[in-house]
Chain A
Amino acid sequence: MPGFAADHPVYLDGSVPMDGLFNALLEVASEVWVLRDRFAVLEQLLRERGSVTRDDIDLFQPGPELRERLAAERRAFLERVLESVAAATPPGQERAR
């Protein structure tokens, strides 16, 4: 219906830089990572101790094996995020370099 925004539900196009959306994506990715890390710690503690408290998780310091696994997973996760952005950028655009 004319005069209603629902006919053209576009609010951000042109007014929000792509960088803003990219920053938001990285905020979400960081939060996902914190949760993945917390799950890995939780799983390890449950395997070792059977039950855990919140402080157990918060103050746990991963040993060498878990540290290496987390570093590899973190890197793979971030490479997927960053490469997907690079792959989607249209060619021939003027850039701020």
Chain B
Amino acid sequence: MPAPQQGPAVPDGMNPAVVLDQRGRAELEFLAGMRAALTPLRARVRARIESSPQIAAWGGDDGADIESLREAVAAELDGTPEQDVIGAALRWNRQVLTPRAVDAFHARRDALEPLATAPDPDAIADRGDETVPRYWRYEFHGTRGGWDGHEHMGFVHHELVYRYLLVPAFGDIFAQRAAVADRAPREDYESICDLGCGTGQYTLKLAERYPAARITGVDLSMASLRYAQRRAADRGMDWRLVRAPAEDTGLPDGGHDLVTSFILLHEIPPHAIEKVFAEAFRLLRPGGDLVFSDVAPYRLRGPYQAWLDDWDAENGHEPWWRPAARIDLAAVAEAAGFTEVRQEALGPGSYPWVTLARRPQEGGT
């Protein structure tokens, strides 16, 4: 078999040696093309929503009640077909995405598996099945079988789903991770913990930004952690990786000077969010920093964007997005004992939305 031609330049952080066969490539490009082809339908939906004075007034003095916005938009769209077609198309797209990506992997398994395999999987600490919370059993984003539904799901999701679907749809989402890593207030971190690290997309930005720090990544998905280990090793890095819930890591008290996360909180229920802040407080040394980046609050979005966020959450397997878009994270941080709590929007539409806080010094601030 001839060596595959080098493919096009790959997005930041992806492996350029990953080459699919024609069917795998064309099937995934078809799914990305479908999202792009929904643009005219989406534009008509948006124009209709934004033409309503009642909807335009949402979020003003009456507050940002998402239920009333959803009702107003449903009434406005009643009798028009566009959103129904968008819904059916995205449903099919989500349903077939993971199986298609897994099929594409298997079609070239001999070539891809050596790129996917972790160098030392036994080095990944495992907190054990008894700590796995109920929310983990949900299929996040409709990923068929969940994040551990395939032994190489971390590779499949990062190298195939992100590369072919998510980067074309959302642009350079790794630059957002770099921007959040850069917002941590100090330069000299020695020990950083990334909660919900997945395949290490944000972890890598932390490691690049703070090269002297010891990096720990925590996640519930062993398949993701294995590929995180591989991605670190490919760059000559060595991260401590732990399979555990972010709210119960089993890591020692006060061992970190930065505890951080990127888009973890909207994947877990509010009671777990509160526990994650408490766990972060425990993991930090006095004076240590917390930096959590997550979805934008609905109240900071325009009516169309807030409606779309909530519609997408409902239709895209995101059961905890709505609570996360309404929770007051600053209050949660203060309740957990943090001080110097502040929040910042780093991009358009108030995303990434970053909550920063500090564990006070013993006996003072």
Q: Which residues of A contact B (CB under 8 A)?
A: 18-19, 22-23, 26, 29-30, 33-34, 37-38, 41, 53, 55-64, 67, 70-71, 74-75, 77-79, 81-83, 85-87, 89, 91-93, 95-97
Contacting residue for B1 out of A59, A91, A96, CB 8 A = A59
Q: Assess whether B84 is in contact with A56, with CB atoms less than 8 Å apart.
A: no
The 4 closest A-B pairs by CB, nearest first: A89-B81, A78-B37, A59-B4, A74-B33
Q: A34-B23, A95-B84, A97-B87 are in contact. List 14 more A-B contacts (CB 8 A).
A: A22-B88, A37-B29, A38-B22, A38-B26, A56-B2, A57-B22, A59-B21, A64-B8, A71-B36, A74-B33, A78-B37, A82-B85, A83-B40, A86-B41
Q: A-facing mask of B47-74, CB < 8 A → 1, else 0?
A: 0000000000000000000000000011
- Shortest beta-carbon distance, B98 to chain A, in Å? 15
The answer to the question of B7 belonging to the interface, with a C-beta cut-off of 8 Å to chain A, is yes
* Interface residue total, chain B, C-beta cutoff 8 A: 44
Q: Could you say which residues of chain A place their CB within 8 Å of the CB of B186?
A: none
Which of B4, B6, B82, B89: most chain A Cβ within 10 A? B89
In the complex, residue of chain A having the shortest beta-carbon distance to the beta carbon of B21: A58
- Shortest beta-carbon distance, B167 to chain A, in Å? 14
The answer to the question of B30 belonging to the interface, with a C-beta cut-off of 8 Å to chain A, is yes
Q: Could you say which residues of chain B place their CB within 8 Å of the CB of A55?
A: 1-2
Q: A-facing mask of B85-104, CB < 8 A → 1, else 0?
A: 10111011001100000000
SS class of chain A's interface: helix, strand, loop or mixed? helix
Q: Assess whether A70 is in contact with B78, with CB atoms less than 8 Å apart.
A: no
Given the interface contacts A79-B37, A95-B84, does A33 sit within 8 Å of B6 by beta carbon?
Answer: no
A-B residue pair count with CB separations less than 8 angstroms = 121
Q: Assess whether B2 is in contact with A82, with CB atoms less than 8 Å apart.
A: no
State the CA gap A19–B41 with chains docked (Å). Answer: 18
Q: Assess whether A75 is in contact with B84, with CB atoms less than 8 Å apart.
A: no
In the complex, residue of chain A having the shortest beta-carbon distance to the beta carbon of B73: A97
The answer to the question of B83 belonging to the interface, with a C-beta cut-off of 8 Å to chain A, is yes
Q: Assess whether B89 is in contact with A26, with CB atoms less than 8 Å apart.
A: yes
Given the interface contacts A78-B33, A79-B37, does A41 sit within 8 Å of B85 by beta carbon?
Answer: no
Q: Assess whether A61 is in contact with B85, with CB atoms less than 8 Å apart.
A: no
Q: Could you say which residues of chain B place their CB within 8 Å of the CB of A81?
A: 37
Q: Assess whether A91 is in contact with B33, with CB atoms less than 8 Å apart.
A: no
Q: Could you say which residues of chain A place their CB within 8 Å of the CB of B4?
A: 59, 61
Given the interface contacts A59-B1, A92-B79, does A33 sit within 8 Å of B30 by beta carbon?
Answer: yes
Contacting residue for B33 out of A19, A71, A97, CB 8 A = A71
Q: Could you say which residues of chain A place their CB within 8 Å of the CB of B91?
A: 19
Which of B37, B40, B73, B74: most chain A Cβ within 10 A? B37
Sampled A-B contacts (8; CB under 8 Å): A22-B89, A23-B95, A33-B27, A38-B22, A74-B33, A77-B37, A81-B37, A97-B73
The answer to the question of B354 belonging to the interface, with a C-beta cut-off of 8 Å to chain A, is no
Q: Which residues of B contact A (CB under 8 A)?
A: 1-8, 19, 21-23, 25-27, 29-31, 33-34, 36-38, 40-41, 73-74, 77-85, 87-89, 91-92, 95-96, 311
Given the interface contacts A59-B5, A97-B83, does A37 sit within 8 Å of B26 by beta carbon?
Answer: yes
Q: Assess whether B79 is in contact with A60, with CB atoms less than 8 Å apart.
A: no
Q: Could you say which residues of chain B place their CB within 8 Å of the CB of A67?
A: 8
Q: Could you say which residues of chain A place their CB within 8 Å of the CB of B2?
A: 53, 55-56, 59
In the complex, residue of chain A having the shortest beta-carbon distance to the beta carbon of B85: A86
In the complex, residue of chain B having the shortest beta-carbon distance to the beta carbon of A93: B79
Q: Could you say which residues of chain B place their CB within 8 Å of the CB of A89?
A: 81, 84-85
Q: Could you say which residues of chain A place their CB within 8 Å of the CB of B73?
A: 97
Contacting residue for A82 out of B5, B41, B79, CB 8 A = B41
Contacting residue for B87 out of A57, A60, A64, A96, CB 8 A = A96
- Shortest beta-carbon distance, A75 to chain B, in Å? 5
In the complex, residue of chain A having the shortest beta-carbon distance to the beta carbon of B9: A64
Q: Assess whether A34 is in contact with B41, with CB atoms less than 8 Å apart.
A: no
Q: Assess whether B26 is in contact with A34, with CB atoms less than 8 Å apart.
A: yes
Q: Assess whether B29 is in contact with A22, with CB atoms less than 8 Å apart.
A: no
- Shortest beta-carbon distance, A61 to chain B, in Å? 4
Q: Could you say which residues of chain B place their CB within 8 Å of the CB of A71?
A: 29, 33, 36
Q: Assess whether A97 is in contact with B74, with CB atoms less than 8 Å apart.
A: yes
Q: Could you say which residues of chain B place their CB within 8 Å of the CB of A63?
A: 8
- Shortest beta-carbon distance, A68 to chain B, in Å? 11
State the CA gap A56–B85 with chains docked (Å). Answer: 38
